[in-house]
Structure 1
């Protein structure tokens, strides 16, 4: 149980997961995950094993960041990113806003006709949890390959308009979920920041009583091997 002055989630209202990046080869010969973008969250990778890279596409252009054990790489909303697995790449992933990126704040770089049709987008991206594993893998791989079609078109486009159009389409696609995301933010990152504010107020007043309410927690994943966007995920409870 957490006191009124504390916060039940991980520090700062972040979320953590473990990721084994897909080693499925794509049409371009590269092994890796599904390119996508986050609209309201930053994300960080702590490389724990293997080697690879993250390809990124922003208004500043295309870039490749090598990933090796000990590397910490992070990016802000609007960064289209594609993880590349060169040799058993494994990561610990830190996600802003109590795991909102895995709870919906992500849009895959599908071709424009899918982004313009919410039903078509949902049908192309959903991986049914109740389906047999072989079928879930087939669906996850198919959506990865479809996202790569749109991603390659964005990389090949000249000028900023193609990327701006993708950003507009992504924002329109997620608009119906913003109220849900706002509530998650209130319960997570905002609540964590406000808890720190209350603690500072107490300390400024000479009140250290909240220190006697200290607690320790340790958790195991609540789900292992989920077919995520970039690889197989071990997911922890997000403190919501």
Structure 2
């Protein structure tokens, strides 16, 4: 992974939350969960909500311009669009979500079967991706409703089973995740500690290396993410430095 001084070793994207209705009549994205990374929404336009299932059960958090909400690993979340909802997404551990740190809430039998899960998650080539994204979202919503309804009755057994199945689904990929964490967030934290100690000792030599960097947005049509159409940003110092 190329070096990046972007704050916190995070990734950045611009998200237009899906505006079409799922099978339950609610407009929005595919419910899913991250196993290691924390995600944040900074709302820049529109109205909506974040439906979530976490240690406290099911809840719905309103989203409006200027609002900021973040959710830790294990939070099952669904972005709901009440009209023109757009958010800037900050994700910890840049590169980890792309490496598989996300599991959608497909029905239990799908999550338990590697081939079935891969087939349900696959969007294929450019032709028909919008339709396949909608089908993927609807299947995840079906599983989300099952988990939500169980939690609302006080039954957490299905949620705990989903946690175990999600862990099993990504376990092999997770072997490489430590390298990604060490390359970005851990390396940045260690560098910050070095600089703090240098200043405390009277050295400011690192200030001579100050630079401005500019993020480069992805080109072409926005990609199909789990929650909506995404514009990602390249945050590499090597490629974006002046």
TM-score band, normalised by shorter chain:
over 0.9
Per-residue CA distance 1:129-168 (angstroms, 9 max, x = gap): x422xx1111111100010111111011141111111001
Residue 222 of structure 2 is aligned with which of 208, 222, 225? 225
Unaligned runs of 5+ in 1: none
Matched, 1:47 2:40: no
Aligned Cα root-mean-square deviation (Å): 1.6
Matched, 1:162 2:158: yes
Matched, 1:107 2:103: yes
Rounded Cα–Cα distance in structure 2 between residues aligned with 1:103 and 1:227: 16
Rounded Cα–Cα distance in structure 2 between residues aligned with 1:160 and 1:72: 28
C-alpha displacement at 1:19, in angstroms?
Answer: 0.2
Rounded Cα–Cα distance in structure 2 between residues aligned with 1:100 and 1:112: 24
Aligned residues: 232
Rounded Cα–Cα distance in structure 1 between residues aligned with 2:23 and 2:126: 26
C-alpha displacement at 1:100, in angstroms?
Answer: 2.0
Moved more, 11-20 or 178-187: 178-187
C-alpha displacement at 1:27, in angstroms?
Answer: 1.9
C-alpha displacement at 1:93, in angstroms?
Answer: 0.3
What corresponds to 1:210 in structure 2?
Answer: 206
| Residue pair 1:98, 1:239 contacting (<8 A) in 2 also | no
Q: TM-score, normalised by structure 1?
A: 0.92
Matched, 1:80 2:76: yes
Q: 1:55 to 1:102 in 2, by over 3 A?
A: farther
Instruction: Find the residue that maps to 1:229 and give its secondary structure.
Output: coil
| Residue pairs, 1:6-25, within 5 angstroms | 8-25=4-21
Moved more, 8-17 or 45-54: 8-17
- Flag as ranges the 4+ runs of structure 1 deviating above 4 A: none
Rounded Cα–Cα distance in structure 2 between residues aligned with 1:56 and 1:153: 13
